[in-house]
Chains A and B, each alone.
Chain A
């Protein structure tokens, strides 16, 4: 991404989207992510209970959570899940949080779009959310590694322990969810061609 900036306080920033990208198109990734998350809730509800989307590795028996994992592994589970769910929730509504409405301008020479970020929002904020997502995902990887014996269980969790259709549901949920999560985390790299504090003159 080409950088050309050092913004003053409260200065609005502009980004040039890569060819073919629009802010609205970002919502497609969000829809994929929400679908994955929805399917994951259905899977966990069928498998144990909806609570295990956060408290994976423990089961609610009506009075308390019971698990054959030691407390530190359970702590790894809920801190990881809460961290990446928080990041994911913010990534899903990223277009709403970051981009000013009605500021899209098309450069007729290239067909690319310039978009203004909302005041106070920066690309660094996006990377910050991505960093939280990476921390959450790392905690989840560590949890599955300790509990299930391999980091790949982040994707395959629930696949081997269930029969069709629950195993298919688990796989579809995790794959959709992870595709959206990865795309949203690396969005500044995927989406932006240029980042600047003033929008250059464009041919419209």
Chain B
């Protein structure tokens, strides 16, 4: 295969990637993509998506946490006009820790502050009644989200470098040494 053929293949791959990214960008311009890349946990039921984002992302006991739920339709647009309620349970025991009653939210964005009492796994359940949808106005849309609490590992850059640098040096150094060794025994 000639050099020009490789250039053609490279050009086709580059063009396809550019086209893919452009198409995605254009699509994103028309669709609400607040969740894209947000690190939110997304649950899909029927034609709706319910997402949960936590601030801070890794909560621990006695820390105030904001639970931000977003309800989107099939076009990735916020659902206008919902009634939402939330139940917080301990995952293992199933014990209900808190209940937030139904309230009206105009744009499908539901934010609640919450303080966890124990460093245990919890489950937050959001109940959403969608105004104008006969099915989900009568019976709420239910989405469960697991929330690990207090199970945080923190590593400073220094600690990480102490582990990563020797490992990488050993790996790369080992390969270089093996490649410098001229005769490597019977082949195959």
Contacts and interface: CB of A to CB of B under 8 A. Distances in A.
A85 B78 CA distance: 39
Q: Is the interface of B mostly helix, strand, loop or mixed?
A: mixed
B152 interface: yes
B183 A168 contact: no
Contacts of B28: 164-165
A172 B13 CA distance: 12
Interface in B26-55: 27-28, 31, 33, 35-37, 39-42, 49
B66 interface: no
A165 B42 contact: no
B37 A27 contact: no
Report, as a range, how many residues of chain A touch the other chain. 35 or more
Nearest to B57: A59
B6 A162 contact: no
B114 interface: no
B188 A86 contact: no
B81 interface: no
Interface stretch (B92-100, B123-131, B170-178): B170-178
B102 interface: no
Report, as a range, how many residues of chain B touch the other chain. 35 or more
Nearest to B51: A163
B151 A68 contact: yes
Nearest to B35: A163
Contacts of B154: 64-67
Given A46-B37, A64-B154, A66-B153, A168 B42 contact: no
Given A32-B13, A124-B184, A161 B179 contact: no
A123 to B, nearest CB: 6
A78 B164 contact: yes
15 contacts: A7-B187, A24-B3, A42-B21, A64-B154, A67-B58, A71-B155, A78-B163, A78-B164, A86-B171, A122-B187, A124-B185, A124-B187, A164-B33, A164-B36, A195-B187
Closest 9 CB pairs of A and B: A165-B24, A46-B37, A166-B36, A9-B183, A120-B182, A65-B155, A24-B1, A64-B156, A67-B153
Interface of B: 1-3, 5-6, 9-10, 13-14, 17, 20-21, 24-25, 27-28, 31, 33, 35-37, 39-42, 49, 57-58, 72, 76, 148, 151-157, 160, 163-164, 167-168, 171-172, 175, 178-188
Interface of A: 1, 3, 5-10, 13, 22, 24-25, 27-28, 31-32, 35, 38-39, 42, 46-48, 55, 58-59, 63-71, 74-75, 78-79, 82-83, 86, 90, 97, 119-125, 128-129, 132, 160-166, 168-169, 172, 195
